[in-house]
Amino acid sequence: MKEELKQFIDTYKNSFESNAFIKLVISKPKQKSNDLKKINIQLVEIKDEMKLKFVYTHQTKDITKNYTLEDSIEEILKYLAVDFRQANLFTVENDFTLMLNKKMEGKIIKNKASLQKPKSTEHNKQKKRYIKVQNKYLQELEVVDSKWNVRPSMVDKFKQINKYIETVENIIESSELKDKKQLRIVDMGSGKGYLTFALYDYLTSTLKIECEIIGVEQRPDLVELCNRIAKNNSFAGLSFSEGTIDNYETKKIDILIALHACDTATDDAIFNGISSNASIIITAPCCHKQVRKQLKIDNELKEITQFGILEERQAEILTDTIRALVLESQGYKSQVFEFIADAHTHKNVMVVGTKKSKKTDSKKYLNKIEELKNTFGIEYQYLEKKIKEKN
């Protein structure tokens, strides 16, 4: 590939990845008799994934096809090699014109941007990607393939990764850690480490924060795999340790994370975060068996819980409400919210605690917990019991 053509393609690729791309027009056929007159390339969103829409303008018809970034590059090169001698790239920063001669030698003319990016719509917006696909660890975790395309089976996972990073960044920005340039984080029950790797990458590479992140996982094969991948990617501040949430000894940390910890493991994680005086505690609970087994409702609510699925959901709501109130009683501002659409994962509720500077009236929140326990006929909730025993 000639140097100017390679430079142009690199500029096109970078504009897509940096969300600066507006459109690309391939024009000026080499043969006047060519039925294909022009190719217009714009962004299109299909099933929550950004693609490049090619509109092939012929003498009497238009044909539309959609491509991934890598496939679009192959298509552009194919037509510039045979059928056309000019390409105009429009980005938010500059316009670039590539002109080619018969020997595929060319020149690039750079001008000020002449177009503004269109307002976002379902068909032309490009969502911000907090984590780029061109990351070696994503290949090693089998999220993307050798051509840097997200594997079809991992599309939902990649969306979850990006939404998670967006969520954590917003939580940090609204906390006392927002200006801190050194963070110590423990991720309990880190599993294969998809979110752990992404968080370390974003904090260190994008936000330029010096981080120590420890992933705690009880399966030794996953600990070994994740430590190997961390080493391969030169992630010096990222390590994984074998252990369980209930027996891992946490020292002074800034952020404690526990995603999809089953039943009372979420409570153990929150308790560890409170005990270590973490500024931020982030959990995504999974299973709520401990409270459900105790439900003995003798009031109007029994009309709801006579149905199994509604009883299960009520147990989830009650458990996470008590967790949020416990956090409030221990000096945290609590939040409970859905962090990704239910279509991508059913484990989509986050319970978050952010340390408050003002003193808290613990008794007020503990009284609310007692009222809830009485209403639903339960003797105790696991986290609430641990906090009582501690105090």
Q: What is the mean pLDDT of the chain?
A: 90
* Confidence bin at 347 (pLDDT 50/70/90): low
Of the candidates 45, 86, 91, the residue with the CA atom closest to the CA atom of residue 68: 45
Do residues 340 and 160 lie in contact, with contact meaning Cβ atoms separated by under 8 Å? yes
Tell me the torsion sign for CA atoms 281, 283, 289, 291.
positive
Q: Express each pLDDT in 245-265 by its tens digit.
A: 988 888 889 999 999 888 899
C-alpha neighbours within 13 Å on the C-beta side of residue 115? 14
Is the model's pLDDT at 23 over the cut of 50?
yes
Is the model's pLDDT at 346 over the cut of 80?
no
Longest dimension (CA), the chain: 86
Return the percentage of the chain with pLDDT > 90, whole number.
71
Q: Express each pLDDT in 37-61 by its tens digit.
A: 999 999 988 766 789 999 999 888 8
Do residues 331 and 360 lie in contact, with contact meaning Cβ atoms separated by under 8 Å? yes
CA distance 225 to 48: 31
CA distance 171 to 177: 9
Q: Express each pLDDT in 132-143 by its tens digit.
A: 999 999 999 999
- Within 68-201, strands assigned E span 84-91, 94-100, 106-112, 182-188
* Confidence bin at 128 (pLDDT 50/70/90): low
- Tracing tokens 């609430």 back to the chain, one arrives at 384
For the chain, how big is the Rg over CA atoms in Å? 27
pLDDT, position 50: 85
Element (H, E) at 253: none
Q: Express each pLDDT in 180-218 by its tens digit.
A: 999 999 999 999 999 999 999 999 999 999 999 999 999
Region of poorest pLDDT, from 22-31, 138-147, 303-312, 313-322: 303-312
Do residues 270 and 327 lie in contact, with contact meaning Cβ atoms separated by under 8 Å? yes
Instruction: Tell whether pTM > 0.75.
Output: no
**DSSP H helix total and E strand total for the chain:** 12, 14
**In the chain, what are the domains?**
3-112 (no CATH), 136-390 (3.40.50.150)
Could you tell me which residue, 126 or 306, shows the higher pLDDT? 306
